[in-house]
Amino acid sequence: MTRWRGLIAVALAGLACAGCATVKPAPGALAPRRSIAQACASERTSDSWVNCALAHMTLRDKVAQMVWPQLYGDYVAADAPAWRRLSSLVREQHVGGLIMSIGSPLEIAAKLNALQSMSDLPLLVSADLEAGAGFRARGGYFLPNAIDLGGAVWFPPEMALGATGDTTLAREQGRATAAEGRAIGINIDFSPVLDVNNNPANPVINTRSFGETPESVAAMGVAYMHGIEAGGMIPTGKHFPGHGDTGVNSHLALPVVNASRARLDTVELVPFRAAIDAGVGAIMTFHGAMPSLDSSGVPGTLSSKVLTGLLRDQLHFNGLIVTDAMDMRGVLDLFGAPEAMQRAVAAGADVLLMPADVPHAIDAVVQGVGSGRYSEARITESARRILALKWRLGLERRRLADLDSARAIVGDSSHQALAAQIAQRAVTLVKDSLDQVPLGRLSHGARVLSVTFAHRSDLGAGVTFDAELRRTFPSLRSEFVSADDALPDYWRLLTVVDSADVVVVSSYLAAGSAVSDLSAPQGFVQFVNELVLRGAHPVVVALGNPYLLQQVSEVPAYLIAWSGAPVSQRAAARALVGAAPIGGRLPISIPPLAAVGAGLVRGTAAGATASSTTP
């Protein structure tokens, strides 16, 4: 297996390439468009091409290679302000890379192609593809009909893979993700998440982690990483040195992990060591403080003790160090943007991701050299790593996505089948005290009430789940409760409950960048508890936060499907009615109710209505 560490770690010193002994532009000046690409077009090795490019760069050009703004894969007209801004960042600011957010696959590819074509040097394009390329590259829903516009394959989250315990599936998901990502012009995947989720109250990691056991997170993470590499993409382990034991969302405030160095060595750092030993190409930083590593209280992203002392010197990581988003409160609240940028560079970061103001971020880093905070050689070191990675990916020879072939790769049926297999094997039955599951043992005419609890903006919540349940129970009644309503009409639902043979309550509340507390609202908890008191024997299905059982511990049946993705909804419903067996095992504990490895096994039910495992 190719080891990315050796591929992107190039010597920091070397002879200048032949023909590159030209006069460099004045400091701070913008290099003419395409001059560097043209001057270095004849170079045939990584070292000579990188040296040639660096020889033609101003200090500001080198800094710009380190600053990667965010963009969306939405359609914009050529004269739209958003497009003019993006064009300016590429043509005038000479940014070295981008992070793609959400959009439809072909619009993402077309927009990236346009930006690549106007850039002097090729752009490195990154994205968070933690749950497959469909995690970002989907068309969304068309309103007002909520028509699913499709897109790349949306896989279950990493914790679902942890529930399968199958590293082969992890590798295959990584490979499929990379294949689809590369097909639309993305080069770097900001996954796998290597955080050990050992805090049930963590509002931002949660199911994004493989689990709470360091060894299993390490094994699954390395397998996933190798799959990404096999698909032609660079994997990124995150969030170093570990975001799992936090109760604070780093998007909103500064988390502090008060663990000893001995605990960090035996828990948080285990997956990162394994990934580094396996040659992971990039590491993303944690916007949180760990006093046992740096007593100053600064987040790891801004700490030289963490990024240089620990990651570079002790763990011998030679790849690309990428900051988490530099518009997050975990770094901005303490110092403000300019100071945070300079501190990150001084700490050892190679890439400054998603600054709110790109030109000002570049200026701030340049000023850091002028003030003597760090040297231009330090900037050159990071620019060299970035350029070497562009060469390794072949971007100086071919930087554009092939729009004609993308449709043959993105959303491929074999990838859909893989996602369905993972989702089905991940379904975990934690509790079934009344032996209700599978429901397929009920008569075809049973009166089933399905209550979906989700945010109103989650247009897909319950749609696939209820459609699949209805195949077995045609008279299924669907009810939706908005988590955004201050006082949902639970009493109306309780009147409906009395006429139902079985009540299925599915929750889609999940961790996220804007979430500060994962707890379900007390009104919802009281409603579920009232169902128990009335003898309705509710079956609760967690399609979001798997720790929900802690709040509704009296329910007789509790099933976890790990995400609200359509593929997970279908798997949960098929398992519930007995159209598919249940065999997932908890990769986490749910204190004090269930231990790691818990999970009841169920076979199929003779009365269940089977359906295809893929859409």
Catalytic residue list? 324
SS3 560: strand
Angle between helices 167-183 and 105-118 (to 10 degrees): 60
The one-letter amino acid at 604:
T
Q: List alpha helices for 393-518, DSSP H.
A: 403-409, 413-426, 463-472, 490-497
Give the separation between CA 437 and CA 64, rounded to whole angstroms: 57
Query: Of 467, 396, 401, nearest to 137 (Cα)?
Result: 401
Beta-ladder partners of 71: 100
Chain centre distance of CA 349: 20
Q: Rg for the chain (alpha carbons), in Å? A: 25
Q: Are 326 and 13 in contact (CB under 8 A)?
A: no
E strands in 361-518: 428-432, 448-454, 477-482, 502-507
Q: Which is it for the CA torsion 268, 270, 271, 275, positive or negative?
A: positive
Give the separation between CA 175 and CA 231, rounded to whole angstroms: 5
Q: Are 313 and 348 in contact (CB under 8 A)?
A: no
Q: Are 297 and 289 in contact (CB under 8 A)?
A: yes
The one-letter amino acid at 107:
E
SS3 542: strand
E strands in 170-281: 188-189, 234-240
Token couple for 237: 């382990």
Give the separation between CA 226 and CA 223, rounded to whole angstroms: 5
The total number of residues written for the chain in this structure: 615
Q: Are 40 and 360 in contact (CB under 8 A)?
A: no
Beta-ladder partners of 240: 285
Give the separation between CA 204 and CA 558, rounded to whole angstroms: 23
Query: Of 542, 515, 71, 467, nearest to 251 (Cα)?
Result: 515
Give the separation between CA 587 and CA 163, rounded to whole angstroms: 5
Give the separation between CA 424 and CA 548, rounded to whole angstroms: 20
Give the separation between CA 531 and CA 509, rounded to whole angstroms: 20
Token couple for 249: 């969302």
Query: Of 61, 12, 16, nearest to 36 (Cα)?
Result: 61
Q: Are 563 and 132 in contact (CB under 8 A)?
A: no
